[in-house]
Amino acid sequence: MRIGYVDPFSGASGDMLLGALVDAGLSLDRLRELLAAGLDLGGYEVSAERAQQHGLTGTRVTVRITEPQPARAWREIRSLLERSALPERARGRALAVFQALAEAEAQVHGVSPDEVHFHELGAVDSIVDIVGIALGLELLGIEALYSGPLPLSRGFVQTQHGLLPIPAPATAALLAGARAPTRPVDIVAELVTPTGAAVLATLARFEQPPMRVEAVGYGFGTRELPWPNALRLWIGEATGEAGEPVDEGPEELLLEANIDDMNPEFFEPLLDRLFEAGALDAWLEPITMKRGRPGTKVSAICRATDRVELERVFIEHSSTFGVRALPLDRVKAGRRIEQIATRWGDVRIKLKLWRGRVIDAVPEYRDCLAIHQRTGMPIRVIYNEAARIAEAWIGRKAESEEGAR
């Protein structure tokens, strides 16, 4: 699994996170294309330049406002994102970050989230930063994000509401809600912004994972500090002893809805939509509801970061009025995909890894089906031959010359 680890040695902000993604390999041209095609938003330009401080070189991304912009309420930003043409997971991640911001601001100001006007956070540059980060994670194939402890400084910051203490109240609420680890830094400067806090509190897990590093990016801020004012991002493959059970912890959720008033033919496209939105698994169960009515329970397992998008699919694509969300702990066997050659064509096989060895090897049904449709050969014959060849993998050490692909 491809992961990212944020090293916020000098803090975190939206532009620093976006700069680190670009420095680590995100195409700025491709990012601009997806922003322009996906968001009904104008009046801005995104640029990137090489930056250097204290001998360290990286990238500084700037969002320049070219037209006057209004302060936007959370409901307006939500509508903007929901009607966007962004990729499903990127849209879900951006919605989740803004939802967290809205809830933090609502908590601070004593209002409901829908009443929140973001002022600075509703400006186009913050929208572009958050959506750009979500798109960057998608384009670089980063499935999970991690972060180190955040540095907390002191002083005051000028906001629409006047001078407020550092960290800003919304930042403090976000970090408290995520139980984020912090470390004190004796400097008068805002090192962690509300946008940076929202992205990490929503999308990241605060621990350093074992990984095989493939790229490192530095995203620079604009402030001059006694040290490089940058954020470092490590990107690579998650590692660990091959085949060991993976404890997913509370990072996954089980979403459920009971439905008794929907055309049964509509459940198939609902499941398709849930998978498109990032569901790790989804299924249907027959149930008996009040007054003996037959019903169907729709369940989906998802990453916590995909919750908002999957809840949207439940509400928009079914007749339910509500969705239950339950924290889920899972232990999973390791897995790896390999490819074998049959007489009629190549077939992928899924290897099940446990305690350092392959304990099962299963042909990919869709590959067998494609060969059947192309050749007319009975699918059971194709599947049986693939399964027979795949048996040679069973018992091998998970760490072998073939390696994970």
CATH of the domain at 358: 3.10.20.300
Residues 56 and 159 in one domain: yes
Residues 34 and 68 in one domain: yes
Domain stops at, among 180, 211, 238: 238
Residues 284 and 197 in one domain: no
Domain stops at, among 238, 267, 292: 238
Residues 325 and 380 in one domain: no
Residues 91 and 48 in one domain: yes
Residue 243 included in any domain: no
Residue 342 included in any domain: yes
Residue 401 included in any domain: no
Residue 403 included in any domain: no
Residues 27 and 144 in one domain: yes
- Cα separation values, 67 from 43, 74, 123, Å: 5, 21, 11
Residue 315 included in any domain: yes
- E strand residue ranges, 189-280: 204-205, 211-220, 230-238, 246-247, 252-259
Residue 243: the pLDDT is 43
Residues 40 and 62 in one domain: yes
Which residue in the block uniquely carries the two structure tokens 């059970």? 245
C-alpha–C-alpha distance, residues 164 and 150, integer Å: 19
Residue 190 included in any domain: yes
CATH number, residue 301: 3.30.70.120
In the chain, the largest separation of any two C-alpha atoms, in whole Å, equals: 74
Residue 341 included in any domain: yes
Please give the angle made by the CA atoms of 161, 74 and 158, to the nearest 5 degrees.
20
Residues 354 and 223 in one domain: no
C-alpha–C-alpha distance, residues 131 and 81, integer Å: 9
Which stretches of the chain drop beneath a pLDDT of 70? 114-122, 159-161, 240-250, 399-405
Residues 327 and 346 in one domain: no
Residues 360 and 317 in one domain: no
C-alpha–C-alpha distance, residues 231 and 7, integer Å: 6
Residue 121: the pLDDT is 45
Residues 317 and 349 in one domain: no
Domain stops at, among 206, 238, 270: 238
109's enclosing H/E stretch is helix 88-109
Domain count, the chain: 3
Give the structural domain span for 307: 248-331
C-alpha–C-alpha distance, residues 240 and 247, integer Å: 12
Residue 166 included in any domain: yes
C-alpha–C-alpha distance, residues 76 and 392, integer Å: 57
Burial call 85-120: b when 16+ CB within 10 Å, e when fewer: ebbbbbbbbbbbbbbbbbbbbbbbeeeebeebbbeb
Residues 156 and 254 in one domain: no
